[in-house]
Amino acid sequence: MGKYGRMREQYLKEYKHGLFDYLLMTEKLSSHLACINKEASKYEELLIQQMAEQENVNEKLKEINQMEWVQRMNNIKNRAQEIVINELIYD
C-alpha cells in the first residue's frame, strides 16, 4: 500500500466508520486502498504534467536555471498533491 492508500485508510477509520467496517468485513478494504492509491498516483502524475506544461516548466528552463526549475516543480508537485488529497482521499 502506498502513501495515498495509507491516507485513505486513516481517513476512513476516523471519519467514515461505516464504510471502513463494511470494507473490512467484506474483505474489500485492501483492494479499495490499492485502487485508490493507483488512481491517486496516476492523477497526481497527470496534474504535474499538465501544470508544468501550462507554466512552461520544462527541460529548457532546467538547463537555463536549475534552481528555479526545482522550486517551480516542487510548487507544482505540492499543489497537485493537495488536489489529489481533496478530490480522491477525502471525498
What pTM does this model have? Answer: 0.88
- Using 50, 70 and 90 to split pLDDT, how confident is the model at 77? very high
User: Apex CA 39: angle with CA 91 and CA 50, to 5°?
Assistant: 100
- Say how far apart CA 7 and CA 40 lie, in whole Å: 11
pLDDT single digits (tens) 3-47: 999 999 999 999 999 999 999 999 999 999 999 999 999 999 999
